[in-house]
């Protein structure tokens, strides 16, 4: 059985009782605007206690100061977190993609260059990729390369974890192009973990696409073609079958964690 990772917010911890640990080997804890970093630390601590491999988010635009970043990383390190996911994030307003002008960090690289990540000696620092582009960063692939360069120079282990994708053709091309680019620049290999949506209504995915800055065109077309708006559901099986050359898969449980577990059970039976 293939192994996956999954992304949750702290309030979803109780629902992880349904999650098969032998299938979902890593749990990413999302740190969204409006959340306190202490809740991410507490959620991570609880998940570690329950036997999960935890990877908390560290979003540049959500963290207001170097002092708070220092405190956050110190507490994560103290509870035994070994891996983190660094990302720019969407600033103060999670539901509107806008530039955050209130915080000290405007992007991931600025946050990495504080020296704090070397200070706490995490085993792995993951970074975010955008197969369909990033509405907040028209040069997302160029900046991905700069982050890879930063990690390579400091000998950090890393993986690229992507935003969830809807355009499989462009994603497959992006995977090949990105691997080729990294190999040519650093003579190095980074695993690419592709984000996909778990089982959910198409209308739910369209709403989340708008929030996350994902191109929803293919979802909207599919929804119009199939009709019965509230009945048509996204099934990740076809998405997985059409993806190529990725290393791992990362689930966004927009339709619910229980729904992903039901899908896994059906997959095992078949």
Handedness of CA 206, 210, 212, 217 (dihedral sign): positive
Q: What is the pTM of this model?
A: 0.87
Helix axes 37-49, 66-78, angle to 10 degrees: 10
Q: Give the pLDDT of residue 159.
A: 97
**With contact defined as beta carbons under 8 Å apart, do 158 and 213 qualify?**
no
What residues does each domain of the chain span? 4-199+235-269
> pLDDT digit of tens for each residue in the chain (270 aa)?
688 999 999 999 999 988 988 999 999 999 988 899 999 999 999 999 999 999 999 999 999 999 999 999 999 999 999 999 999 987 543 333 334 445 789 999 999 999 999 999 899 999 999 998 887 888 999 999 999 999 999 999 999 999 888 889 999 999 999 999 999 998 888 999 999 988 887 766 766 565 555 555 554 444 444 444 444 567 888 889 999 999 999 999 987 899 999 888 887 666
Could you please state the CATH topology (level 3) that the domain comprising 4-199+235-269 is classified under.
TIM Barrel (3.20.20)
């Amino acid at each position: 059985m293939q192994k996956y990772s999954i992304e949750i917010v702290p309030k979803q911890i109780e629902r992880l009782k349904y999650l098969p640990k032998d299938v979902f080997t890593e749990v990413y804890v999302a740190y969204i605007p409006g959340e306190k970093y202490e809740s991410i630390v507490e959620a991570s601590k609880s998940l570690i206690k329950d036997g999960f491999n935890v990877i908390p988010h560290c979003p540049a635009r959500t963290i207001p100061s170097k002092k708070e970043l220092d405190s956050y990383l110190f507490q994560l390190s103290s509870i035994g977190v070994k891996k983190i996911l660094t990302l720019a994030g969407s600033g103060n307003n999670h539901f509107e993609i806008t530039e955050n002008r209130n915080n000290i960090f405007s992007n991931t690289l600025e946050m990495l260059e504080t020296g704090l990540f070397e200070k706490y000696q995490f085993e792995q620092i993951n970074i975010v990729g955008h197969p369909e582009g990033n509405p907040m960063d028209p040069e997302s692939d160029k900046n991905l390369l700069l982050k890879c360069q930063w990690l390579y120079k400091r000998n950090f282990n890393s993986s690229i974890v992507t935003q969830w994708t809807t355009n499989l053709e462009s994603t497959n091309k992006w995977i090949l192009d990105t691997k080729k680019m990294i190999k040519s620049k650093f003579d190095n290999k980074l695993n690419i973990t592709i984000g996909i949506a778990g089982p959910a209504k198409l209308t739910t995915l369209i709403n989340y696409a708008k929030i996350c800055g994902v191109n929803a065109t293919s979802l909207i077309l599919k929804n119009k073609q199939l009709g019965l708006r509230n009945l048509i559901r996204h099934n990740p099986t076809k998405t997985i079958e059409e993806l190529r050359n990725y290393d791992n898969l990362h689930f966004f449980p927009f339709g619910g964690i229980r729904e992903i577990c039901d899908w896994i059970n059906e997959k095992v039976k078949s």
